[in-house]
Amino acid sequence: MNRLLLVDDDHDLAQLLAEILRRENCVVDIAGNGVEALEQMRATDYDVIISDVSMPVMDGEELHRVVARESPYLADRFVFITGHLEWRSNLMDFAERTGNILLTKPFPAEQLLAAVKGVLSR
């Protein structure tokens, strides 16, 4: 069973995405921001990190920078999600530089599942 960390400050969306992933036999933990995510990542091993880009306290880009420094083996195990279309080109550049996937909200469940499977197959 794959263990995923879902990082999003939108609690309702996080719960919905977690339920979708759990139906695919994934174990899913949820964090509300990057700081909470780091605490969980330091205590638990994850196969995939699904992270919103825009969050309070610590955003997805900063989370990735810290993870790349502290746990470089996880740096290419991210799926980024965003609802900020106005930032899309900058975020696409960021995702490409990191070698990770960026999904724009709203996205179909199948797209999320395909992105997770892609990361797991690396």
CATH number of the domain residue 12 falls in: 3.40.50.2300
Burial of 13 (0-12, 13-18, 19+ CB in 10 A): middle
Q: Which domain, by its residues, includes 87? A: 2-120
Q: What is the mean pLDDT of residues 67-95?
A: 82
- Domain count along the chain: 1
pLDDT at site 78: 97
Q: What is the mean pLDDT of residues 102-120?
A: 94
Beta bridge partners of 31: 7
Positions of E strands within 1-122: 2-7, 26-31, 48-52, 78-82, 101-104
Beta bridge partners of 79: 50, 101
Does residue 45 carry a pLDDT above 70? yes
Tokens 């949820």, residue located: 30
User: What does the buried/exposed string (b/e) look like for 89-120 if buried means 16 or more CB atoms within 10 Å of the residue's CB?
Assistant: eebeebbeebebbbbeeeeeeeebeebbeebe
* Single-letter amino acid code for the residue at 80: F
* Strand order across the beta sheet in which 101-104 lies: 26-31, 2-7, 48-52, 78-82, 101-104
pTM of the shown model = 0.92
User: Would you give the end-to-end CA distance of the chain in angstroms?
Assistant: 16
Q: What is the mean pLDDT of residues 33-59?
A: 95
pLDDT at site 89: 59
Q: What is the mean pLDDT of residues 75-79?
A: 95
